[in-house]
Amino acid sequence: MNWPNYPQLWSLLSVCEDRWKFTYPGLEIEREVLRMGEWLEANPSKRPKKNWKRFMTLWLARNQAALERAEAREMVARLQRHADAMVGKYDPQRLTEEQAERNKRDIAEMLKRYPDLA
């Protein structure tokens, strides 16, 4: 899809797509550009006048950060369930082998990301 009023979106996408896919790995870049176009259609008074690359980069950065926060919340919840199991709030026998392995991987990943927690 292409918005006739916003050809800047697609021209920048063709130039920057590979770099953005690397920089914002959790996002589907083309889908985000479609969302940008929809937002611009709904908010024409807020569209950028000149610096389209800045608009697009800020949009992608904001959505990547939101995705990372959601992933972090999920990881913390899994770690909390694992910690609860270790102190007896949950019966560890109820954990499946797959859940126990996932918890171990999550803890290892968290410790790798944040070594000061060890």
Q: Per-residue pLDDT tens for 55-73?
A: 999 999 999 999 888 888 8
pTM of the full structure: 0.63
Q: What is the mean pLDDT of residues 78-89?
A: 72
User: Residue 106: what pLDDT?
Assistant: 81
With a pLDDT cut of 90, the percent of the chain lying above it is 18
CA distance 103 to 101: 5
Q: How far is CA 24 from the centre of its chain?
A: 8
Task: Say yes or no to pLDDT of 74 above 70.
Answer: yes
pLDDT digits (tens, 9 = 90+) for 24-47: 988 999 899 889 888 988 898 888
Helix (H, G, I), strand (E, B) or coil at 8: helix
CA distance 60 to 32: 7
